[in-house]
C-alpha cells in the first residue's frame, strides 16, 4: 500500500472506533540489516536501513487514565490498559505499547492515556522488526502527547528496555535505533558500544530485496545463547594475552590469528566471524561512500559464507536463496539476515534487475525445496515521524 492509503486507512479506522479525529498520526518504519550480524552483543558495528514499510498509528488523548488501543490488522483486536500504573502483560501484540508505558513510568515519566488505532505493512516474522516499529510508534506518540523532552536516541533506548524487561526478548539496540533515527536514502552505521551513528548514502537505482525462506527459526533461541557463550569464552581466553580487550570488537583479525592456538577450534571460528564481520561493516561503509557496489556485494557474500561456515547459523534453504539471487545479472550480492536457522535473506539489486532476481530465486527455491518464498522489495526510508 502507498503511504497515502495507509494514512487514510488508520485515520478512518480511528474515526470509526472513537467517533472523533485523531490528534496526530505517526509512522515508524521496520528495518533490514545490510551487514553486521551477531556483532551487536559483541559491542560491534551494524549497518541497518529503515525501510519503506512501517507501523502507522492514529492517536488522541482518551480523557481518563485508561488507554484504549485497536489493531486493525488483527481482526480489530481491542485492548484497554492503565497508564498511571504498570499494566498487566497479556502476552500478545499489546505488550509492546504496555512495555513502553512500563518503561516511561520506570524513568519517572507519566504518560497521558490515549485512544489509538494501529495498522502496519511491516511483515510479521520476516526479520524486518515489526515489533520495534510498533514500540517506536507508540513511544513517539506518547512523547508528543505528553510533551516529554526526549531525543530520538533516548526514545530508542527506552523501547529497547521495554522489549528486554517487559516483553522479555533480549534484543540489542539496532532495531529500535534505526526505526527511530533512520534517514531516507541512507544506511546507518551504528557503533553498538558508544551508540554513535553515521549515515552513508545508498546509490540511486538500488533496491533491497528481502526473500523469506518460510522456515521458522525454531533453533535460533537456544543456539543464539550458545553462540553468545562461545563469544564470551573467546574474550575470556584472549584477555589473558590482551588485557585491554572487553569484547570481541576490541580484537583485530591479526590478534585473533596470533592467539588462535589458545582457543578451541569452534570458539576460534565463532570469534573469527565476529571479528571479520566488524571489518566488513566498516569496509561496506567506505564502499557506499565511494559508490563501489560491486565490492559491497562481494562483502555481503563473504559475510554469508562466514555466517554459514564459521558461525554455523545458516540452513540449506537460506543458502539456496543466496546462491540463486547471486546468479542473476544486476544482483550485487546477498546474505542471510537476522539470527539465522530460518527467516530471510537480503539481496542488493539494481532496480531494473529486481523482476529477474525475484523470478529466478522463486523458481529455484520451489524446484529445490517445494515451497514458494515470500519476496519484498524495499528502499531506505526515514525513521519515525509525525505524518498528520
The answer on 248 and 193 residing in a single domain is no
| 219 pLDDT more than 60 | no
The answer on 306 and 190 residing in a single domain is no
Q: Single out the residue of 154, 156, 120 nearest to residue 48, CA to CA.
A: 156
341 contacts 220 by C-beta, under 8 angstroms: yes
How far is the C-alpha of 22 from the C-alpha of 15, rounded, in Å? 8
Q: What is the CATH number of the domain that holds 270?
A: 3.30.70.890
Q: What is the CATH number of the domain that holds 86?
A: 3.30.230.10
Residue 166 per-residue DSSP state: I
272 contacts 256 by C-beta, under 8 angstroms: yes
Burial pattern 41-80, b for ≥16 Cβ within 10 A else e, equals: bbbbbbbbbbbbbbbbbbbbebeeeebbbbbbeeeeeebe
Q: Is the pTM of this model over 0.75?
A: yes
**DSSP strand E in the chain: where?**
24-35, 45-61, 66-71, 77-82, 114-120, 186-191, 197-201, 206-212, 331-337, 344-350, 374-378, 385-386
The model's pLDDT over 232-246, given as tens digits with 9 standing for 90+, comes to 999 999 999 999 999
The answer on 157 and 69 residing in a single domain is yes
Q: Which one of 124-133, 167-176, 271-280 scores highest in mean pLDDT?
A: 271-280
The answer on 133 and 238 residing in a single domain is no
The answer on 247 and 177 residing in a single domain is no
| 227 pLDDT more than 60 | yes
How far is the C-alpha of 19 from the C-alpha of 281, rounded, in Å? 49
The domain in which residue 145 lies consists of 3-202+382-386
Q: What is the mean pLDDT of residues 178-191?
A: 98
Pairing of strands 114-120, 45-61: antiparallel
Quote the mean pLDDT of the chain: 95
Contacts of 90 (CB under 8 A, 6+ apart): 79, 98
The answer on 216 and 175 residing in a single domain is no
300 contacts 266 by C-beta, under 8 angstroms: no
Q: What is the mean pLDDT of residues 84-96?
A: 94
The answer on 234 and 172 residing in a single domain is no
The answer on 55 and 184 residing in a single domain is yes
132 contacts 140 by C-beta, under 8 angstroms: no
How far is the C-alpha of 297 from the C-alpha of 301, rounded, in Å? 6
Active-site amino acid positions: 175
The model's pLDDT over 301-341, given as tens digits with 9 standing for 90+, comes to 999 999 999 999 999 999 999 999 999 999 999 999 988 89
| 383 pLDDT more than 70 | yes
Q: What is the mean pLDDT of residues 161-187?
A: 93
The answer on 187 and 68 residing in a single domain is yes
Cα distances from 50 to residues 10, 141, 181, 187, in angstroms, run 21, 19, 8, 8
Indicate the number of domains in the chain.
2
**Cβ atoms within 10 Å, residue 282:** 15
The answer on 276 and 188 residing in a single domain is no
The answer on 20 and 49 residing in a single domain is yes
Amino acid at each position: 500500500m502507498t503511504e497515502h492509503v495507509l494514512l487514510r486507512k488508520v485515520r478512518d479506522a480511528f474515526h470509526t472506533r472513537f467517533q472523533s479525529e485523531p490528534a496526530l498520526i505517526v509512522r515508524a518504519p521496520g528495518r533490514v540489516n545490510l551487514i553486521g550480524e551477531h556483532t551487536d552483543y559483541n559491542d560491534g558495528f551494524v549497518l541497518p536501513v529503515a525501510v519503506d514499510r512501517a507501523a502507522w498509528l492514529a492517536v488522541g488523548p482518551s480523557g481518563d487514565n485508561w488507554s484504549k488501543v485497536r489493531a486493525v490488522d488483527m481482526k480489530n483486536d481491542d485492548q484497554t490498559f492503565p497508564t498511571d500504573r504498570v499494566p498487566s502483560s497479556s502476552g500478545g501484540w499489546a505488550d509492546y505499547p504496555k512495555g513502553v508505558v512500563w518503561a516511561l513510568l520506570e524513568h519517572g515519566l507519566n504518560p497521558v492515556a490515549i485512544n489509538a488505532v494501529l495498522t502496519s505493512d511491516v511483515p510479521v516474522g520476516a526479520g524486518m522488526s515489526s515489533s520495534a516499529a510498533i514500540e517506536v510508534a507508540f513511544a513517539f506518540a506518547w512523547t508528543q502527547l505528553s510533551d516529554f523532552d526526549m531525543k530520538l536516541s533516548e526514545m530508542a533506548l527506552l523501547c529497547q528496555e521495554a522489549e528486554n524487561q517487559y516483553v522479555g526478548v533480549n534484543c540489542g539496540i539496532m532495531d529500535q535505533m534505526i526505526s527511530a533515527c533512520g534517514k531516507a536514502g541512507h544506511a546507518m552505521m551504528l557503533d553498538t558500544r558508544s551508540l554513535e551513528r553515521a549515515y552513508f548514502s545508498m546509490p540511486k537505482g538500488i533496491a533491497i530485496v528481502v526473500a523469506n525462506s518460510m522456515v521458522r527459526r525454531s533453533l535460533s533461541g537456544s543456539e543464539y545463547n550458545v553462540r553468545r557463550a562461545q563469544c564470551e569464552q573467546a574474550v575470556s581466553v584472549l584477555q589473558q594475552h590482551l588485557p585491554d580487550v572487553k569484547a570481541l570488537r576490541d580484537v583485530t583479525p591479526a590478534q585473533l590469528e596470533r592467539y588462535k592456538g589458545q582457543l578451541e577450534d569452534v570458539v576460534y571460528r565463532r570469534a573469527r566471524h565476529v571479528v571479520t564481520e566488524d571489518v566488513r561493516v566498516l569496509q561496506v561503509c567506505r564502499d557506499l561512500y565511494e559508490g563501489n557496489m560491486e565490492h559491497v556485494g562481494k562483502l555481503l557474500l563473504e559475510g554469508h559464507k562466514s555466517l554459514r561456515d564459521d558461525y554455523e547459523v545458516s540452513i540449506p534453504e537460506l543458502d539456496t536463496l543466496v546462491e540463486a539471487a547471486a546468479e542473476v545479472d544486476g544482483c550485487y550480492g546477498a546474505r542471510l539476515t537476522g539470527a539465522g536457522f530460518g527467516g530471510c535473506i537480503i539481496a542488493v539489486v539494481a532496480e531494473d534487475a529486481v523482476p529477474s532476481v525475484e523470478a529466478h530465486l522463486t523458481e529455484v527455491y520451489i524446484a529445490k525445496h517445494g515451497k514458494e518464498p515470500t519476496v519484498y522489495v524495499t528502499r531506505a526510508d526515514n525513521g519515525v515521524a509525525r505524518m498528520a
